[in-house]
């Protein structure tokens, strides 16, 4: 696609190129029919295809990214400013009409009462209004005035089905912005309480909790909203926590430009750049990481915006637009963000071993997941021990198991623990009907709804089927990585897989990036298998 940007220097900016390619998709999401009852609704599945019976409010978030593009004057010449202004106005006006009486919004089910989605809708809307000027700001503030009920929902309710730092950070940033706009002291107090919870949960190793563990990919999203909150609150403790966070995630920018992977608690590898860009002027590690990953985005070495499907399109689009607003100039030369040496994060269960010619990331907590690069190329992507029992069930060492036994020496890492059957349930007409019926009835009672969400999270995210034996994985570190696996019972048979795999449901995992070609070609680690520990 030939770029026709108003400012030619943006053609040399990786964020601008990705945004320019995605912008037609974003503008096409919203209903523009002036006579339509759903004008301004951003969910085409609802208003255009009519395949679902409620709108996904997450897609109203386009107003955030579009307003950032206006502020940066960074949209292509074939898209006019009035067109973008009109889209923002229509979507902001439509958003309160999608809100339930209790102030909540939904994404997955009708009457879902989603705390996270409500926070995201409020955050995106307030960002758009606060970037506006003059009469436009006043009219848009009036349009989202009814979102006071959404702020009230966030104040009086909590997300209890898991400790998900990026969700709590979204809520904190949203409530701080709402307070800045409206002087809502209750919103500010709740935001401060959320930040206290996030910082209290942060590991001394620098990671923020995502379903009980560390996930570098989602941490970049969490840090976007924490950086936004820090900019509003200017809290010294929060800035210090963000510096520790950058110190952690910088270890997971890989030599080939990829970021994160199955070794994270949520198995994601999407890099959200806005938080790192916002911190680049404050922390040298953030600046080096931002420079390095900007080049990686330009090569699609990390998951690019153009690879993202509709449910995740707007959060990443907005993030790229916010990153562009923070770093509007041409890409800098890639900085060296990858530390050399060996770093063991015992709480996260992650080992990073890096030398002049190699880089290795191992998750002991997830049963010895191994990623290994040599001479800048992916040489091994090993998701763990994979075996088959006599009934044809797949069993594996890959499960989030903090209780795994770990022994680390200068030369080797030894991980042992329990094998578990791989089991990821899929929807079918019966269980979907049951869930839909519950969402329309008992789940509308807040306590019952949260209970069901906890059960679903336990089933899909905290995966781990029944125990099926024991494994020992011994990994010889260094450029010539070697893995030796042993297991019991003896009748389990090795299954060879041709790339990394995951044992949990995570819709935000598995997106394409250019290094996947290397992953498909990379052999498994040199390994020798016996049958008994």
Q: Which two tokens stand for residue 355?
A: 């030398």
Q: How far apart are CA 242 and CA 498, in angstroms?
A: 37
DSSP 29-69: HS---TT-TTTT---HHHHTS--SSS--GGGGGHHHHHHHH
Residue 302, SS3 per DSSP: coil
Helices within 73-156 (DSSP H only): 81-98, 115-131, 134-143, 148-156
Q: How far is CA 472 from CA 241, 264, 353, 364, in A?
A: 36, 20, 20, 11
Whole-model pTM: value is 0.94
Answer whether 327's CB lies under 8 Å from 277's CB. Answer: yes
- Do you know the residue count of the chain? 533
Q: How far apart are CA 279 and CA 246, in angstroms?
A: 9
Please state, rounded to an integer, the average pLDDT across all residues of the chain: 91
Q: How far apart are CA 372 and CA 505, in angstroms?
A: 24
Q: How far is CA 269 from CA 12, 453, 508, in A?
A: 24, 25, 8
Quick check: 245 pLDDT over 70? yes
What pLDDT digit, counting tens, does each position of 89-113 carry?
Answer: 999 999 999 999 999 999 999 999 9
459 pLDDT tier (thresholds 50, 70, 90):
confident
Q: Residue 465: its pLDDT value, please?
A: 67
HEC string for 310-364: HHHHHHHHHHHHHHHHHCCCCCCCCCCCCCCEEEEECCCCEEEEECCCEEEEEEC
Q: At a CB cut-off of 8 Å and minimum separation 6, what does 520 contact? A: 498, 499
Q: At a CB cut-off of 8 Å and minimum separation 6, what does 149 contact? A: 99, 101, 102, 103
- Which of these ranges, 36-50, 171-185, 424-438, has the smallest mean pLDDT? 424-438
Q: Residue 339: its pLDDT value, please?
A: 72
522 pLDDT tier (thresholds 50, 70, 90):
low
Q: How far apart are CA 276 and CA 286, in angstroms?
A: 6
Among all chains, which residue has been given the structure tokens 């209903």? 31
Q: How far apart are CA 368 and CA 406, in angstroms?
A: 10
DSSP 213: B
Q: What percent of the chain has pLDDT over 70?
A: 93
What average pLDDT score do residues 221-238 get? 95
Q: How far apart are CA 180 and CA 32, in angstroms?
A: 31
Quick check: 157 pLDDT over 70? yes
Q: How far apart are CA 295 and CA 292, in angstroms?
A: 6
Tell me the residue ranges of DSSP E strands in 350-490: 350-354, 358-363, 369-374, 377-382, 386-388, 394-396, 405-408, 412-421, 467-476, 482-488
Quick check: 4 pLDDT over 70? no
Q: Residue 528: its pLDDT value, please?
A: 45
What pLDDT digit, counting tens, does each position of 109-143 carry?
Answer: 999 999 999 999 999 999 999 999 999 999 999 99
Helices within 337-492 (DSSP H only): 429-440, 446-460
Q: How far apart are CA 172 and CA 230, in angstroms?
A: 10
**Span(s) in the chain for CATH 1.50.10.10:** 8-326
Quick check: 2 pLDDT over 70? no
Q: Which two tokens stand for residue 186?
A: 């209750």
Q: Which two tokens stand for residue 6?
A: 């108003």
Judging by DSSP bridges, how do beta strands 350-354 and 377-382 pair with one another? unpaired
Q: How far apart are CA 505 and CA 267, in angstroms?
A: 9
Higher pLDDT, 4 or 131: 131
Q: How far apart are CA 272 and CA 221, in angstroms?
A: 5
- Which of these ranges, 32-46, 150-164, 459-473, 489-503, has the smallest mean pLDDT? 459-473
DSSP lists the bridge partners of residue 406 as 415
What pLDDT digit, counting tens, does each position of 69-83 carry?
Answer: 999 988 877 788 999
Answer whether 266's CB lies under 8 Å from 509's CB. Answer: yes
How crowded is residue 333: how many other Cβ atoms within 10 Å of its Cβ? Answer: 8
Residue 245, SS3 per DSSP: helix
Q: Residue 113: its pLDDT value, please?
A: 95
What pLDDT digit, counting tens, does each position of 361-398 carry?
Answer: 999 999 999 999 999 999 999 999 999 998 999 999 99
Residue 459, SS3 per DSSP: helix
Q: How far apart are CA 227 and CA 224, in angstroms?
A: 5
What average pLDDT score do residues 309-323 get? 96
516 pLDDT tier (thresholds 50, 70, 90):
confident
Q: How far is CA 445 from CA 167, 297, 441, 442, in A?
A: 22, 44, 8, 6
What average pLDDT score do residues 61-68 get? 97
CATH assignment, 8-326: 1.50.10.10
CB neighbour burial string for 348-380, b if at least 16 within 10 angstroms, e if fewer: bbbbbbbeeebbbbbbbbbbbbbbbbbeeebbb
Q: How far apart are CA 225 and CA 275, in angstroms?
A: 7
Q: Residue 463: its pLDDT value, please?
A: 56
What average pLDDT score do residues 196-215 get? 96
Among all chains, which residue has been given the structure tokens 């090993």? 382
């Amino acid at each position: 696609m030939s770029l026709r940007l108003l400012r030619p220097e943006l053609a040399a900016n990786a964020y601008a190129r990705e945004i320019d390619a995605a912008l037609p998709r974003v503008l096409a999401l919203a209903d523009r029919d002036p006579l339509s009852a759903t004008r301004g609704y951003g969910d085409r599945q609802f208003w255009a295809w009519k395949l679902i019976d409620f709108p996904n409010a997450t897609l109203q978030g386009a107003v955030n990214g579009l307003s950032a593009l206006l502020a940066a004057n960074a949209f292509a010449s074939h898209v006019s400013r009035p067109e973008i202004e009109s889209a923002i106005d229509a979507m902001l006006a439509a958003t309160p009409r999608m809100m339930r009486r209790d102030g909540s919004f939904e994404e997955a089910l009708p009457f879902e009462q989603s705390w996270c989605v409500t926070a995201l809708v409020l955050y995106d809307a307030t960002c758009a209004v606060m970037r506006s000027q003059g009469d436009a700001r006043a009219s848009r503030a009036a349009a989202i005035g009814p979102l006071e009920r959404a702020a009230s929902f966030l104040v009086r309710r909590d997300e209890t089905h898991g400790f998900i730092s990026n969700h709590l950070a979204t809520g904190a940033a949203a409530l701080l912005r709402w307070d800045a706009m409206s002087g809502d002291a209750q919103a500010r107090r709740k935001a401060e309480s959320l930040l206290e919870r996030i910082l209290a949960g942060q590991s001394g190793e620098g990671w923020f909790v995502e379903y009980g563990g560390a996930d570098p990919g989602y941490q970049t999203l969490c840090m976007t909203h924490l950086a936004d909150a820090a900019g509003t609150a200017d809290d010294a403790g929060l800035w210090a926590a963000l510096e520790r966070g950058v110190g952690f995630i910088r270890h997971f920018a890989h030599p080939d430009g990829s970021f994160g992977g199955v070794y994270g608690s949520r198995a994601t590898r999407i890099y959200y750049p806005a938080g790192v860009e916002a911190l680049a002027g404050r922390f040298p590690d953030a600046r080096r990481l931002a420079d390095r990953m900007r080049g990686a985005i330009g090569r699609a070495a990390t998951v690019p915006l153009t690879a993202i499907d509709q449910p995740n399109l707007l959060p990443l689009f907005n993030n790229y637009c916010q990153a562009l607003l923070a770093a509007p100039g041409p890409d800098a030369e890639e900085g060296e963000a990858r530390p050399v040496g060996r770093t063991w994060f015992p709480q996260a269960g992650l080992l990073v071993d890096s030398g002049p010619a190699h880089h290795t990331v191992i998750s002991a907590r997830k049963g010895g997941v191994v990623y290994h690069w040599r001479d800048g190329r992916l040489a091994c992507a090993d998701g763990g021990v994979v075996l088959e029992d006599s009934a044809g069930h797949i069993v594996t060492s890959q499960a989030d198991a903090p209780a795994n036994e770990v022994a680390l020496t200068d030369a080797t890492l030894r991980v042992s623990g329990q094998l578990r059957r791989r089991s990821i349930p899929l929807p079918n007409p019966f269980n979907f009907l049951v869930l839909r019926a519950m969402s329309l009835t008992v789940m509308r009672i807040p306590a019952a709804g949260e209970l069901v969400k906890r059960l679903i999270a336990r089933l899909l995210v905290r995966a781990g089927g029944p125990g099926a034996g024991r494994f020992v994985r011994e990994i010889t570190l260094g450029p010539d990585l070697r893995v030796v696996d042993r297991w019991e019972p003896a009748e389990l048979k090795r299954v060879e897989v041709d790339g990394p795999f995951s044992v949990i449901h995570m819709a935000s995992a598995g997106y394409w990036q250019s290094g996947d070609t290397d992953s498909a070609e990379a052999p498994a680690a040199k390994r020798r298998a016996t049958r008994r520990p």
